[in-house]
């Protein structure tokens, strides 16, 4: 049984059940009625166990969409219309306390920039520990065990020593491993990774992709992965959504979208990934869905 934030009791959720439902979502920056939507009437469903890759050129609205789901939109942004439901819970209606309670237990994020997301004045052990105690009352020794185990699970072997490190004492790859450990600590239903390898050295990128794959496999986690890198998407994802100009122009199984794209924008994106330059200019009569 699963108790929702409103206290309703649901039957245990199964793989394949809808987890995240986004319906008619539009997000604008600025208050002007004439402002262009950064996310424009977007609808999709992510089912439990899906691994969805969200691709699209810079400015297509990927991060705005992720921020809307996580309820971390900047002050300049407004949701003009639509619904976002996670496990049946209306995320846009949640009050701050309820929001705090779903963060990290229902939905968690691996950010692009781990250094900017970690607090420079606390050790990583303290920051991991705070994530655990935000949702559970547990003793100090058990907390330390959990933190060290979480660090070991992301390939940080000397966890008893490393948990005493400050963020600046770790390499970029290590910091991203810490962020992944932090995101997974409370076993969220949905993991949103926003360009998790973009800020890393090329050699470290492959290790972090492998780590993400292993952790997601082990926990059968539902993943929404935002990436410019079609290679990373094809390695990790079973489904793909393509955004262009704030809209989802194509979505489907990765094996279809990445091999037989039906939208011309997806074709040009895949060409670009293969080093072939083909310009995409939207046909005004083209219907985007």
Ligand X SMILES: Nc1ncnc2c1ncn2[C@@H]1O[C@H](COP(=O)(O)OP(=O)(O)OP(=O)(O)O)[C@@H](O)[C@H]1O
Residues facing 20 on adjacent strands? 46, 86
Q: In terms of CB distance, is 147 or 223 closer to ligand X?
A: 223
Give 114's contacts (C-beta < 8 A, 6+ positions apart): 167, 172, 175, 176, 178, 179, 199
Cα dihedral sign, 164-168-169-174:
positive
Give the containing element (helix H, strand E) for 219.
helix 202-219
Q: Min. distance of Cβ 41 from ligand X in angstroms?
A: 14
Tokens 């400015």 sit at which residue?
59
Q: Min. distance of Cβ 6 from ligand X in angstroms?
A: 30
Task: Centre a 10 Å sphere on the Cβ of residue 179 and count the other Cβ atoms it contains.
Answer: 26
Q: In terms of CB distance, is 59 or 116 closer to ligand X?
A: 59
Residues 33-92 binding ligand X (CB under 6 A) are: 38, 56, 58-64, 74, 76
Q: Does 29 bind ligand X (CB under 6 A)?
A: yes
Q: Min. distance of Cβ 276 from ligand X in angstroms?
A: 21
Residue count at the site for ligand X (CB under 6 A)? 12
Q: In terms of CB distance, is 7 or 74 closer to ligand X?
A: 74
Q: In terms of CB distance, is 58 or 285 closer to ligand X?
A: 58
Q: Min. distance of Cβ 263 from ligand X in angstroms?
A: 16
Distance from CA of residue 257 to its chain's centroid? 20
Contact footprint for ligand X (CB under 6 A): 29, 38, 56, 58-64, 74, 76
């Amino acid at each position: 049984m699963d108790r929702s934030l409103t206290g309703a009791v649901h039957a245990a959720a199964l793989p394949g059940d809808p987890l995240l439902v986004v319906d008619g979502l539009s997000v604008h920056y600025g208050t002007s009625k004439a402002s262009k939507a950064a996310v424009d009437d977007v609808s999709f469903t992510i089912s439990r166990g899906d691994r969805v890759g969200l691709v699209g050129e810079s400015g297509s609205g990927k991060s705005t969409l992720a921020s809307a789901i996580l309820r971390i939109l900047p002050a300049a942004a407004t949701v003009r219309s639509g619904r976002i439901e996670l496990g049946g819970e209306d995320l846009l209606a949640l009050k701050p306390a309820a929001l705090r309670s779903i963060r990290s237990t229902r939905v968690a994020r691996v950010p692009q920039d781990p250094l900017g997301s970690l607090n420079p004045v606390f050790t990583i052990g303290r920051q991991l520990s705070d994530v655990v105690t935000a949702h559970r009352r547990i003793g100090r020794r058990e907390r330390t065990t959990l933190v060290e185990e979480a660090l070991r699970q992301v390939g940080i072997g000397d966890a008893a020593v490393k948990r005493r490190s400050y963020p600046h004492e770790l390499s970029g790859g290590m910091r991203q491993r810490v962020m992944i450990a932090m995101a997974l600590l409370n076993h969220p239903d949905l993991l949103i990774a926003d360009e998790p390898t973009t800020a890393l050295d090329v050699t470290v990128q492959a290790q972090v992709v492998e780590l993400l794959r292993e952790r997601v496999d082990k926990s059968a986690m539902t993943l929404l992965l935002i990436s410019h890198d079609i290679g990373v998407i094809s390695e990790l994802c079973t489904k793909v959504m393509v955004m262009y100009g704030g809209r989802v122009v194509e979505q489907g199984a990765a094996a279809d979208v990445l091999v037989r794209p039906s939208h011309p924008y997806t074709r040009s994106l895949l060409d670009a990934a293969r080093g072939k330059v083909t310009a995409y200019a939207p046909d005004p009569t083209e219907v985007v869905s």
